[in-house]
Amino acid sequence: MTQHTLFVCVLCRSSKIDLQQTGLSAGQSLFERLSEELAACHGCEAIHLQPVRCMGACDRSCVVAFTAPNKLTFILSQLSPIHSVPELLQFSEQYVACSDGKVPYKERPEAVKKGIHAVLPPLQH
């Protein structure tokens, strides 16, 4: 089975949700919410959640990346650590189901459509 990885920058900060409200950075909060939801999600077992200390898009937090061998890599930014979680889970399932990672634009959740920072071609192994 192909290994799919969802990288989440855990250092991302947000002016809306941050240490004063949750005790966590917005990125860490997003990571923990995704971790809880992925653990409970049937069909999400193919996604490996990986924390990253910085993805270099600090002015566009929160930032995540979906990647897998021989698939497109999606880098998403300006995500809500709360409201984007259901849509990221939906996209996770779509991404896993597409052999090349090319989830049709019309089928992508709104947070993914709006949050695309970059789409990279597949890395050929």
Total-model pTM: 0.89
Neighbours of 99 (CB within 10 A): 9
**pLDDT exceeds cutoff 90 at 78:** yes
Is residue 32 in a domain? yes
The total number of structural domains in the chain stands at 1
Question: Is position 78 within any domain?
Answer: yes
60 inside domain: yes
In this structure, is residue 80 part of a structural domain? yes
Distance CA 75, CA 116 (A): 6
Q: For residues 99-104, give the mean pLDDT.
A: 94
Domain membership flag for residue 125:
no
Q: How far apart are the first and last CA of the chain?
A: 16
Provide the domain limits for residue 40. 4-120
Q: How far is CA 9 from the centre of its chain?
A: 9
On whether residue 11 sits in a domain, the answer given is yes
Question: 20-56, pLDDT tens digit by residue?
Answer: 555 778 899 999 999 999 888 776 788 999 999 989 8
In a domain, 34, yes or no: yes
**CATH number, position 86:** 3.40.30.10
Residue 93 has pLDDT above 80, yes or no: yes
- The answer to whether 117 touches 76, Cβ cutoff 8 Å, is yes
